[in-house]
Amino acid sequence: MKKSPSPLLLPLLAAALMLVGCGQKSEAPASGSAAAPADKKKLTVGLVQTGAEGAWRTANSNSMRDEAAKRGITLKLSDGQSKQENQLAAVRSFIAQGVDAIVIAPIVETGWDPVLTDAKKAKIPVVIMDRMVKVADQSLYVAFVGSDFAAEGRMAADWLAKNAGGRTKIVELQGEPGSSAANDRQTAFAAALKDHPEFKIIDSQTGNFRQAEGKQVMESLLKKHGKEIQIVYSHNDDMALGAIQAIEEAGFKPGKDILIVSVDAIEAALKAIVAGKMNVSVECNPLFGPKIYDTVEKILKGESVPKSSANKDQVFDATNAAAALPTRKY
């Protein structure tokens, strides 16, 4: 028969076992080991993009992807393919998936109230990127991080007023109808030129921010107006680059016979300025990744963020385009 421990030894054995247990709990696991505590929750962000309409948008999407990868954020990107119904469906899908935050680059300004209301009810914060929305209740989105399109339109007009050299007749290549970028660049440009009544916009047509459509529209305008056209004001560089092709094919010299005034300042535009084919491009920085994720992380931590913030842009022409090219990231 097995002999039981003496009653006097039981307290000693219990104390020893407690010491062993405490010692195991107090040991800090090695960094990176399987026993290390779990990392903080990985964030998942749904990005509702406009599409892939040009070099600017590609740079914008890449900035969002690259910065997400750096921060260990899971980014779910939905390509709207330039259709708002696709964007609305993407927002609903992200709500159903329970993402931590939704970022929207809206194709047009209106029509967002119902899905943003759904996101708010689901307690998923929404950040509007690049282009603005018009909603009845401003609390439906937490913050806007974008560009000041009106300022860009004014800067384009101010440059023209100082550098037109007697040219006054303008054709305008407009961006996507209903978008805040097109609306603000058009309105602000026209308002700024009211102080310079010598200028006249003789025609305006949309090229939907696309190079191929910019070329087609410019071909049509050249057939209609011919040598009367002295200035092209384009709402973005992709359309301006298409217009340059059409102008050259029509036997004119872009940048000389017809001034080219544009917005975005992508690398291809700066190269065109250096080559003398474009005269000016007002910057619209697409690299929103760091600023967007800073905003999202602060919101999710319960910190306050500005309701609206915009990048500061500059003007590029023959005086500074060449110097900027070596460090251009888009």
In a domain, 15, yes or no: no
Asked whether residue 247 falls in the same domain as residue 323, the answer is: yes
Amino acid 155: pLDDT: 97
**pLDDT tens-digit profile of 142-164?**
999 999 999 999 999 999 999 99
User: In terms of pLDDT, which residue wins out, 192 or 313?
Assistant: 192
Asked whether residue 55 falls in the same domain as residue 174, the answer is: no
Q: What is the mean pLDDT of residues 232-257?
A: 98
Contact between 260 and 245 under an 8 Å Cβ cutoff? The reply is no
In a domain, 10, yes or no: no
Q: What is the mean pLDDT of residues 97-116?
A: 97
Asked whether residue 163 falls in the same domain as residue 262, the answer is: yes
Whose CA is closest to 222, among 199, 198, 193, 202? 202
Q: pTM value?
A: 0.83
Asked whether residue 87 falls in the same domain as residue 154, the answer is: no
User: In terms of pLDDT, which residue wins out, 187 or 29?
Assistant: 187
Range of the domain at 256: 149-285+318-327
Q: What is the mean pLDDT of residues 231-252?
A: 98
Asked whether residue 176 falls in the same domain as residue 323, the answer is: yes
Amino acid 141: pLDDT: 98
> Which domain CATH number covers 243?
3.40.50.2300
Amino acid 23: pLDDT: 36
Identify the H or E element spanning 174. strand 169-174
Identify the H or E element spanning 212. helix 211-225
Contact between 59 and 286 under an 8 Å Cβ cutoff? The reply is yes
Amino acid 40: pLDDT: 63
Asked whether residue 230 falls in the same domain as residue 258, the answer is: yes
The two counts, helices (H) then strands (E), for the chain are 11, 12
Amino acid 34: pLDDT: 34
Amino acid 312: pLDDT: 84
In a domain, 9, yes or no: no
Q: What is the mean pLDDT of residues 67-82?
A: 97
Identify the H or E element spanning 159. helix 149-163
Q: What are 103's strand-pairing partners?
A: 47, 127
Asked whether residue 123 falls in the same domain as residue 211, the answer is: no
pLDDT at 193 over 70: yes
Whose CA is closest to 146, among 163, 159, 128? 128
Amino acid 209: pLDDT: 96
Six-digit token pair at 122?
């689901």
Amino acid 3: pLDDT: 42
In a domain, 8, yes or no: no
Identify the H or E element spanning 205. strand 200-206
Amino acid 311: pLDDT: 85
User: In terms of pLDDT, which residue wins out, 22 or 168?
Assistant: 168
27-62: b (≥16 Cβ within 10 Å) or e: eeeeeeeeeeeeeeeebbbbbbbbbebbbbbebbbe
Whose CA is closest to 277, among 286, 290, 268, 285? 268
- At 138, phi and psi to the nearest 5? -65, -15
User: In terms of pLDDT, which residue wins out, 142 or 17?
Assistant: 142
Look over the chain and give the mean of its residue pLDDT values, rounded to a whole number. 90
Beta sheet of 308-311, edge-to-edge order: 74-79, 44-49, 101-104, 126-130, 143-147, 308-311
pLDDT at 287 over 60: yes
Asked whether residue 160 falls in the same domain as residue 243, the answer is: yes
pLDDT at 37 over 70: no
Instruction: Characterize the bridge pairing of strands 315-317 and 44-49.
Output: unpaired
In a domain, 276, yes or no: yes
pLDDT at 28 over 60: no
pLDDT at 137 over 60: yes
In a domain, 76, yes or no: yes
**pLDDT tens-digit profile of 291-321?**
999 999 999 999 999 999 998 889 999 999 9
User: In terms of pLDDT, which residue wins out, 193 or 11?
Assistant: 193
In a domain, 54, yes or no: yes
Give the chain's domain count: 2
Helix, strand or coil, per DSSP, at residue 74 = strand
Contact between 143 and 300 under an 8 Å Cβ cutoff? The reply is no
pLDDT at 124 over 60: yes
Q: What are 234's strand-pairing partners?
A: 173
In a domain, 242, yes or no: yes
Q: What is the mean pLDDT of residues 257-274?
A: 98
55-71 vs 237-249: helix axis angle to the nearest 10?
A: 150
DSSP secondary structure string for all residues of 97-141: HT-SEEEE--SSSSS-HHHHHHHHHTT--EEEEES----S-GGGS
Amino acid 5: pLDDT: 45
Asked whether residue 94 falls in the same domain as residue 168, the answer is: no
User: In terms of pLDDT, which residue wins out, 253 or 35?
Assistant: 253
pLDDT at 232 over 80: yes
